[in-house]
Structure 1
Amino acid sequence: MHPRIRFALTTAALTLSACATTSQVRPVPVATESAPAPAPAVAAEPVPAPEPVAEENPAQALFAKAVAAFDAGDYDLARKGFEKVLERAPQSLNAQFNLGLIAERQGRLDDAVADYEKVRFLEPGHVPMLLNLGRLYRQREKYQDAISLYETGLKTPGNEFEAALLNNLSTAYRLAGKYPQAESSARRVLARHPEDVEAYKNLGLAHYEQGRYRLAETVLTHARKLADKDPGLHNSLGMVYLKLDQRPRALAQFQQAVSLDERFAPGYENLGALALAWRDYAGAERAFAKAVELEPGSPSAWLSYAWALDGQKGRDAKKGLAAGEAFEKVLALRAETPEAVCGAGWAYAVERAGWDKAESFLQRCKDAASTSAQDKQLIDSKLQGLAAMRKSAPPAAATPEEPAPAAVGGSGALPDEAPAEAPPAEAE
C-alpha cells in the first residue's frame, strides 16, 4: 500500500530511418508513397478507345488527400481516406500501415495492432510495421512476442543488418531480462556502425540493469560525446548517477533532458520521482502533470501523478479526490493494479464526497492477496471510522455560509510514506 518511487528509463529510439534523435520509441511518420493503381478489369473484346486523356489515378488522388488530412491532424478524415484507398487497392501496404498509425494516435491500440498485423500478413519484412507493432507489444509487456517479431523481420532478405530492428531487438531482450542477448544485439549494430548512438544506449542500459553502473556510465558518456543533444542520453546518465548516489548530478541530467526536448516524458517522470523522494509533492505534481499530458496512456505516469496529489490531501481535501480520480485512471489502463486500488480507497476517504468510492476501493484492497495483515487491520479501522462519521454527519450538504465539518483522517499514514528509492520502471 505504500507508494513506490518510479524512475523512468529510456529505450531505443527508432523511426523509419536507422538513427533517431530522441530516446523514446515513437511511431514512424505516416507513409507518403501513393497507393498502386488497382489492376484493370479484362474486357470481353477490344473496343476502340478515344484519344487518351491524362487523368490522375483515383487511388493516388485519394491517398494524397488522406495524407494531407493526416498532416493537418484530421485523423478521422484521414482514416476514411485510407479506407477508400484500400477499397480500390486492397494490396496497398502504405494505406494499411497508415490506418494503424492513425489508430495509435487516436488511442485505439487494439485496432492499431490489428492494422499492423494485416501489413505483416502482406509483407512480413515491412520495417516500419515491425518497429511500430513491436513497440506496442513491448508496451503491453509481451516481450517474447516482440523478440519473435524482430527476429523474424531480420531474417527477411535485405533486413539482416537493419540497425533499427537490431536496436529494438536489443531493447526487447533487455526488458525480458535477457541481458547477454541484449548486449550481443547492440554489438552487432556497432560492428557495422561504430557511431550508432542507439546501440550505445542499449549497451549502457544493459550494463545498468545488471548493476554495472560504472561501466554503464562509461558507455553512456561516450555516447553523449556523439550526440550531446539527445535527451535520452542525459536521462539515462541521470539514472546511473542516482544509483551512484549522486543526486545533484542526476537532477542536472534530468533537467538537461527536458530542456533539450520539452516533450520528453521520461525526463518529467524522473524529475517528479526526485521531487516525491524529497517530499516536494507540489513539484512532483507539476512534473507528473506534464508527463501524463505527454503520455496519457502510461499507467506508471498516472500512478506517480496520483501519489503526488495524494501527498497533498492533508492540506487540501480536493487533492485527495483528484488523487482518487488519477488512481482510477490507472485502473482504466491496467485493471486491478493493487497500488491503484488501495491508493484510491485512502485518497477518496479524505472527503465526504468520496466516501462511497472509498468504502468500495478499501474493501477491494482488503480482499487483495497482496495486502498484508497489518494493512487489513488499518483498513478495518478506516471503514469503521467512515461508518461512524456517516452516522454523525448531517444528512444535507452544507451551504457556503455553513461549511460542513472536514472529514477526519483519510490517510491512515499509508500513502504519505515514500521510500527513498525503489527499482526503476520502464517508460514503455
Structure 2
Amino acid sequence: MRLWLESAVAGTPSWCLYNAVLSVLRATSALIISLLGVSMHGACVSAAGGRLNSRQRFLGSIVVAWALVPVPGRPQDLSRVEQLYEEAQSARTRGDFATAERLYIEVIRRAPELANAYHNLGIVYFMQRKYEGAAEVLEQAIRLDSKLGPAHAMLGLAYYELYRPEKAAKELQAALRLNPSDTNVLIYLGKAELQERDYKAAAKTFEKVAALKPRDPEILYDLSLAYMKLMLESIGRLGEAAPGSHQFWLLLAQDAEARGDEEAAIRNYQQALRVKPDVIGAHYGLGSAYAKIGKYDDAAQEFKKELQISPDDWLALWKLGELALRTDPDQARQYLARAVSLDPDFPQAVLAYGRALARAGKTEKAMEQFQRVVTLAPEEDSVHYHLAHAFRRLGREEEARKELTRFEELAKKKDERTQQMARRLIEMTRAAQPLADEPEPGFSPSRDPTHH
C-alpha cells in the first residue's frame, strides 16, 4: 500500500495561472470603473460631471466591491506559499512526516482554498495512522475540488481503516468514476464491500480484479473468501427456513467433503437419507465418502442403492466399475461400458473402461479408449503409461518409448508424489519387471464430477 500512496502525490498548484487570472480580474475592474466614472472613494459622478442613475450606481458598487475585496483564500504571498508547499512535499517524500505536517498546515493557513494542500496533509496523517485526522482534511480537499480523484481514493482508504465500510465504498466508487483504470482502488473497494458484508458486490469486484491479476494469490484469496461468505450466508438462510430438511443436511455433507472431513460427510449424508430416503445423489455422495476412507464394500452398496433410485446414473456406474476393477474385471467392464454409453465424453469413465478392456486382453479396443482420453483430457498423464504398455504388447517398441516419455513429461508438472511414482513405474517398465500397481489417474480438479 505504501508504494501506491507514495505514487499518488497531489500535483503542485498552478501559481502562474492564479496570478494571470488575478491580473485580468484587476484590469477588467479598472476599465469598467473608468468607463462608469465610479470614484474609488465611492462618489458616483458621470464622466461629464453629471449624477449617475440608480442602475449605474448599483453596477458601480458591485465592481468596486469586486476590485477591492480580496478573493477568498487568496495567498497573501504566493512565492512564500509555493516555497512552503515544495518544502512540505520534500519532507513527505523523505518520510519526515512531522515536518511535512507542520508545513502543510502553514500552507493551509496562508492559502485556505488550496485543495492539494489538504490532500497531501491527508496522506501525511494516513501514513502516521491518524485516520480520523486524514478523513477530516481529505473531506475538505474534496469540498474544494470534487474532481480530485486521488483525494477520494485516500478518503476511502481512511474510512476503510476506521471500519466505516459504507463511506469507504462510496469514496472509492467516486475515485473509480474519475479514474476507472486504478486497480488498487478497485481492490480496496472489494475489501470495503467485504467489510460491509455485501458479499455479492465483493465477489463481482474481485472477479474484475482477478481478470487483471489471474495468478495473484491475495486476490484469489479475497475472491474465494467472498464466495465462501456467500455460501455460508445461503446455508444460514436455508438452516433458518428449513433446519431439518434433507437439503440442509446435503449441504453440510458436501461442505464436510470439501474440507476433507469424510466422517462428518458420512454422518450428514446418512441424516439426509433418514429425512428423505429416495433423494437423488445422497447414496452416491455417501459411497464416495466410504471409498475415500477405504470402506470399499460399503461404498459399493451405496452406489448400487443410487442405481436403484436412478438406473441411468453414469457416475454411480463409473464408481462401481472402478471398485470392481480390483476384484471382478468382467463385472467392471459391464459397468464401465454402460457408463461410457450414457456419457461418452466423461474421460474418467473412458480411461477406466480402457483399463478394464486391457485387463481382459482386448488391447486394440483398449487403445481406442486411451486415445479418446488423450483427446478429452490432454493434461492426464496416466493414460500415456497405459498406452505405452498397450504398444509394447503389440510389439511397437518405438511408440511405447514415446508414450513413456510423454508420461514422464506430464508427471513432472504434478506433485512430487506423482513424479516419484512415475519414475518408479518407468524404471520397472524399462527393466521388463512385473508391475504391482498402476499410476492413479490425476485429472484436473476442474474435471471432478459433481452429482446433481
TM-score category of the 2 structures, normalised to the smaller one: 0.3 to 0.5
Question: Normalising to structure 1: TM-score of the pair?
Answer: 0.47
Question: Normalising to structure 2: TM-score of the pair?
Answer: 0.44
Bigger helix share: 2
Structure whose CA Rg is larger: 2
